[in-house]
A = this chain, B = another copy of it.
């Protein structure tokens, strides 16, 4: 293993030094490929893999996206879906009560009819991808400035989505790829009746907690099983993954099919500087504040801890991930490599006017980012809602915007409020998931404080929002005064439309209404001065890039389905070999080493089952496959398309993958298929689920 990796490292180094270093290092397993642009040639040349016809289509159809933010896959024809525990945790949190804490205790439906219906979980299964670039760009009138062009494109996208929805009934989204280089229509089948089948205890799903998060070796059973229903019955699905009982082997080629949420690898260097000096510092300051606030709330008692659990996990997870990215952005070596690559692309662009880009495109992006700095805080606080850390405010804003947007022609509406979005919007808006007034107050007063200190307490917008009160008083006044905790009250307001909104005296609605013009103005500035300009400039750069690199360019991640591949492989850290696989036995060793102190406390179910388990069963493993956040829950498959594991993390070295792929020690982390079956069988007694999976795999 070591030898292979050393030579790969040499290759990468050579490539870096070579003046022709323009394309992604093909020696490395880099790439989050579009399903309609799979690099079959690379697969054949590098991995001697020529898939059967239908192989890609099958993977595409077997994979799903969850509205709680993550990926999953069908593992039986009866709509059984496997995802991560930390992807399902939003649903687990919402289904929990003070008496029954599903996150802590886990869950197993002992019969189909006792599978628990989730309040607002939506699952999308991709059906089709259509390239609509020409149509979107064709909608832009000649000579339009970037703002007008942006508007024309947004309207064209809305029209395409509506047509697709009307024609097929499926959820339809036009996705902007290559920062504006291409536009593809994604058509999904939508499931809104999703039921919880099985979840282990958080203690083993997130064994090692925040300490081990983004670390390796790991011992986590980060899984959760849902089932989608149609017409009150388990949905019948054609495409599902067959289960490999032996799992993957060291060195084996594996594939990951999932929804990486966001990468910034194709950014210009000036855009990276913006991320480094403005966006990440701002985001990390917010996350640190939120983390402390949620911790302070959580330590009040066990019930408070339960209420804040999922939100706190999300904040901590983001904080750790983004600290890693910022460290990468502050590493001069990484930016130096980006600068070199950029310099060479710029040289090619200058030498080849026919590529259609000019150096001004880079300058336009730099200027757009510079302009953004001027209203960054207002945009984040008002339009992105950073001032209003409260689900009740979110509900109020949705109602206010729904009232306004519904009166507009579909193509002119804000994204999220178009006809094709209504089912999803209503599922969220009328969710019966619990909202805790005490937690809302704590969060809202924290974010109002942050808003007041960022803009200055005497800023007119701050004065308007605080209405003469301190942030603490104002949050209490809003949360105590609103009726939006009640789902029926929400329906009532929505039904009344714009008039009901205008007449409402509900303080949260009054606030959302008052803020909205300013939020929309910040959004308009962003769309016109930043997004519009960048889409055009990045679009031209991307087109030049296609001409320079051929097909060896994949777009940055967009929370849409991608295919990635690589090898199961250990790595070296601090001079030590890190083996690719851990075992179930290792979890018990770790528990003992830490004397069962949290977060290294195995649940009772595991301690009780120890004797029955095959402790040599592979538990977690690492591979070179290119993933980022959003890939959580993605299936790992082998050449035969069999399920060999499920992605749940990357190691600490992989955090820079947001901006730059490296293969030396960065790895994705997965739960191995054999350990899942072993646990379901011997720890959780989930015989029916195991039988369903195995039967599907035989069938």
Contacts and interface: CB of A to CB of B under 8 A. Distances in A.
Interface of A: 209-211, 273, 276-277, 280-281, 284-285, 288-289, 291-292, 296, 299-300, 319, 326-327, 329-333, 449, 452-454, 456-458, 468-473, 599
Given A285-B288, A288-B289, A289-B285, A276 B453 contact: yes
Q: Could you say how many copies of this chain the assembly holds?
A: 2
Nearest to A471: B330
Contacts of A273: 457-458
B470 A327 contact: yes
A469 B332 contact: yes
B330 A452 contact: yes
A319 B288 CA distance: 12
Contacts of A468: 332
Contact of A280 (B329, B453, B470): B453
A332 B470 contact: yes
Contacts of A289: 284-285, 288
Q: Identify the interface centre among A280, A284, A291, A469: most chain B CB within 10 Å of its CB.
A: A284
A457 B276 contact: yes
A453 B281 contact: yes
Contacts of A458: 273, 277
Contacts of A472: 327
A372 to B, nearest CB: 15
Contacts of A209: 299
18 contacts: A210-B296, A210-B299, A276-B453, A280-B453, A281-B453, A284-B289, A288-B288, A288-B289, A299-B599, A326-B449, A326-B453, A327-B449, A327-B471, A327-B472, A329-B457, A330-B453, A331-B473, A332-B470
A248 to B, nearest CB: 30
Given A285-B288, A332-B468, A332-B470, A453 B277 contact: yes
Contacts of A300: 211
Contacts of A329: 457
Nearest to A463: B332
Nearest to A335: B457
Contact of A331 (B277, B296, B470): B470
8 closest Cβ contacts across the A-B interface? A281-B453, A288-B288, A331-B470, A277-B456, A211-B299, A330-B470, A285-B285, A288-B292
Contacts of A449: 326-327, 330
A664 to B, nearest CB: 16
A567 B210 CA distance: 46
A546 to B, nearest CB: 31
Contacts of A473: 331
Contacts of A456: 277
Contacts of A211: 299-300
A457 B288 contact: no
Identify the interface centre among A211, A280, A285: most chain B CB within 10 Å of its CB. A285
A665 to B, nearest CB: 15
Contacts of A331: 470, 473
Contacts of A469: 332
A592 to B, nearest CB: 15
Given A211-B299, A292-B319, A327-B470, A281 B454 contact: yes
Nearest to A330: B470
A362 to B, nearest CB: 17
A454 to B, nearest CB: 7
A292 B473 CA distance: 27
A284 B290 CA distance: 12
A339 to B, nearest CB: 12
Contact of A330 (B276, B292, B454, B457): B457
A262 to B, nearest CB: 20
A473 B284 CA distance: 20
A333 to B, nearest CB: 8
Nearest to A288: B288
Nearest to A467: B332
Central interface residue in A284, A454, A470, A472, by most chain B CB within 10 Å: A470
A326 B451 CA distance: 13
Contacts of A453: 276-277, 280-281, 284, 326, 330
A329 B466 CA distance: 14
Contacts of A332: 468-470
A599 B333 CA distance: 44
A458 B209 CA distance: 36
Nearest to A316: B292
A261 B292 CA distance: 25
Nearest to A598: B299
Given A329-B457, A330-B449, 15 more contacts: A210-B299, A211-B299, A273-B458, A280-B453, A281-B454, A284-B453, A285-B288, A285-B289, A288-B288, A292-B292, A299-B599, A326-B453, A327-B471, A330-B453, A330-B470
Contacts of A288: 285, 288-289, 291-292
A268 to B, nearest CB: 15
A276 B468 CA distance: 16
A250 to B, nearest CB: 29
A281 B451 CA distance: 11
Contacts of A457: 273, 276-277, 329-330
Nearest to A302: B597
Nearest to A469: B332
Contacts of A276: 453, 457
A287 to B, nearest CB: 8
Contacts of A292: 288, 291-292, 319
Nearest to A280: B453
Nearest to A320: B296
Interface-central residue, A288, A449, A468, A471, by most chain B CB under 10 Å: A288
A58 to B, nearest CB: 42
A358 to B, nearest CB: 25
A292 B312 CA distance: 13
A61 B253 CA distance: 78
A320 to B, nearest CB: 8
Contacts of A280: 453
A524 to B, nearest CB: 27
A442 to B, nearest CB: 12
A692 to B, nearest CB: 39
Contacts of A319: 292
A293 to B, nearest CB: 9
A368 B626 CA distance: 53
